[in-house]
Amino acid sequence: MYKICSIVQGTLWSLSFFDKLIMSIFASDVFVVLFLILVLGFALGRYKVKGVSLGTAGVLFSALIFGHFGFHIPKEIMEMGLLLFVYAVGLQAGPHFFRNFRRVGMHFFVVILVSIISGTIAAILVGWYLNLRADLTVGILTGALTNTPALASAIDVVTRQGLGQGSMVSVGYGIAYPFSMLGVVLLMQWLPRLLAKDLPSEEAKWKAESLQEYPSLMAKQFLITNSNCDGKTIRELNPGRMCDANISRLRRGNDIFTVKPETVLKCGDIVRAVGSLKELDLLRVLFGEETDISMDLNQNIVSVDIEVSDDSISLKTLGELHVLEKYGVIITRLRRGDVEFSPNGNTVLLLGDQLRIVGERSAVDDFINLIGRDESRLDETTMLPFLLGLLLGVAAGNIPFPLPGGMSIRLGGAGGVFLVSLGLSHYGSVGRFGFFVPQAAKNFSREFGLMLFLAGAGTIAGAQFFEVLMEQGIALFIGGAFVT
């Protein structure tokens, strides 16, 4: 009996020792708590129920539990995470944002405006009916919209204007978010049926509209039958003045060679050109008729795809490089992101641009040596403009804009950084500095930044989350679902 008591006592002492040891580790190093929240939250976010998972939001619910037990993440870490998140989102969206806004911007604006207004009205009604605090009501609205940047802005405004506690905004977000996520899933399943829409046909229609905006490139051969072209050089005809297509090579008899400005065309020659269908139709009018006669590459004429990886070439136009005159090669296609187009002399090259080069093998090799063979450069981020963009964004976010009545409004750090990142990714440079961020770096900044922010917001909210639930009861969940 004495032996059993000794074993039990020793076991309890060991458990107490390890409990104190673990708590001392947590209390002494905030990074242990932070990364434990991230690990557990990420694991929770990957768990699926009928194909639905929390994703990165799992970090928020993990942080709520830790916050309930008194752990917290410093505010500076949370804000740094938010800046990285919105910066990466802006970098990802920038290349397409302005083009898409011109095309369908007003439609999206109306949809977003209706969603925000209807959600705001619903949140106000819930807050009034349940007699909720303003900060908690705002949090429910941001959670119902599944809008993390809005959560950050709401916390900033509520804290700065003295309208309540930022922690209560996070509490409301955590309550409404699960219902919003579930609502989006159900909406995507039921909306096509309610609107009597067939998803495959709608997808095909959308692709057709996208092709009209960004037509895909193709190659065609043309038999020169127009007598006005006979005996004229490419420079004299200047096909670039009438269409955006590039002539890559010419066939005369059994000989195939690349085309240069001084190349003289003759009736019966076959030229190969690359461009959109609309542009190639214009070339057909100039040259004569389309033909199916093949123009395969030979040992001397090659076609190579290469990425721009030399900083000295970035931000220069093809005209400045004198690609055809000095190197004797033709760039038929340029892909930037997921957009492909036919370049011309005014096209500015950026790091990461994918080029298709056609020419004699030796000439192509010389040009590749010019634009860079070091593909490892494309895995590196240009840190100076990257950091400068963050600096400019934070500074812009703190500029006050005066309002009537002596009030002023600021974009906030997140808003300023987002707008600057949109501009940087759209224009591709900061002054004379080229701006290039690999896709992997954007993905990491977006995901890790969001996780840091949610970890901080969750621990802040966790201190009051369960108390608020006990006080309001199930009605709070019903209110969150109603706003969704």
With respect to residue 343, please indicate whether it lies within any of the assigned structural domains: no
pLDDT the model gives residue 17: 47
Q: How far apart are CA 112 and CA 107, in angstroms?
A: 9
Residue 359, burial from CB neighbour count under 10 angstroms (0-12, 13-18, 19+): buried
Extended beta strands in 207-353, E state? 218-224, 246-252, 255-258, 270-275, 288-291, 301-307, 329-336, 339-341
With respect to residue 188, please indicate whether it lies within any of the assigned structural domains: yes
Q: Which helix (H) or strand (E) element contains residue 468? A: helix 439-472
Q: Which helix (H) or strand (E) element contains residue 126? A: helix 75-130
Q: Alpha carbon of 334 to those of 264, 306, 354: distances in Å?
A: 27, 10, 6
pLDDT the model gives residue 226: 83
pLDDT the model gives residue 52: 63
With respect to residue 430, please indicate whether it lies within any of the assigned structural domains: no
Q: How far apart are CA 291 and CA 297, in angstroms?
A: 17
With respect to residue 385, please indicate whether it lies within any of the assigned structural domains: no
pLDDT the model gives residue 1: 42
With respect to residue 182, please indicate whether it lies within any of the assigned structural domains: yes
With respect to residue 264, please indicate whether it lies within any of the assigned structural domains: no
pLDDT the model gives residue 373: 60
CB atoms within 10 A of CB 292: 7
pLDDT the model gives residue 23: 56
Largest Cα–Cα separation, the chain: 114
pLDDT the model gives residue 2: 43
Instruction: Confirm if 259 and 274 have CB atoms less than 8 A apart.
Output: no
Structural domain that includes position 62: 2-192+448-483
Q: How far apart are CA 125 and CA 137, in angstroms?
A: 10
Q: What are the backbone angles phi and psi of residue 32, rounded to the nearest 5°? A: -65, -45
pLDDT the model gives residue 3: 46
Give the mean pLDDT per block of 10 residues along the chain (484 residues).
43 45 59 87 78 73 83 85 87 71 67 80 81 80 75 73 74 74 67 69 66 69 84 80 79 80 83 82 83 71 77 75 75 77 79 80 78 62 78 84 71 81 74 70 86 84 74 71 72
With respect to residue 416, please indicate whether it lies within any of the assigned structural domains: no
Instruction: Confirm if 180 and 147 have CB atoms less than 8 A apart.
Output: no
With respect to residue 55, please indicate whether it lies within any of the assigned structural domains: yes
- Per the structure, how many domains does the chain have? 1
